Amino acid sequence: MATSTGLIIRQGTFSTLPELTDDEIRAQIQYGIDNGWAVSIEYSDDPHPRNTYWDMWGMPMFDLKDAAGGLYEVNKCREAFPNSYVKVSLYNPKLTKQTIGLQFMVQRPKHEPGFRLVRSEGPHRRIFYTMEPYAAEKPHGDRYED
């Protein structure tokens, strides 16, 4: 998706849909719990697709039985980091899987400056492209303002 400032990156399941309501978030968390998946909440001010290590909000909730507890933690994270990206990860701990079963965004900053595509030339005239976030021009904590 292009904006006047650049390219907006969409990540995770449901990323092309409108923002999920709290009831829809609760339903997705309950779906994960019903499948035996652990709930984890993460936040970041660097949503680059190669940044897979976001900060964790608390510990993963392996023993959660009710999605209301997961939604409560989502809302506490949103409150603590109103200008950050927040996502829910549902981890499938089964021995043959051990991977993310479902992952989706639950908050984005009000203003997302986007990314720019940078073209560079390497050895033997090979062309390389990389994305740089406009927000990374500012230090952590100051990247997204109200």
What are the structural domains, with CATH classification, of the chain? 8-111 (3.30.190.10)
Rounded Cα distance, 2 and 129, in Å: 17
Q: Residue 43 corresponds to which amino acid? A: Y
What is residue 3's predicted lDDT score, i.e. its pLDDT?
Answer: 42
| Residue of 88 and 96 predicted with greater confidence | 88
What is residue 83's predicted lDDT score, i.e. its pLDDT?
Answer: 87
What is residue 132's predicted lDDT score, i.e. its pLDDT?
Answer: 76
Q: Which of 28-32, 49-53, 60-64, 115-119 has the highest mean pLDDT?
A: 28-32
What is residue 67's predicted lDDT score, i.e. its pLDDT?
Answer: 96
Span 17-39, average pLDDT: 94
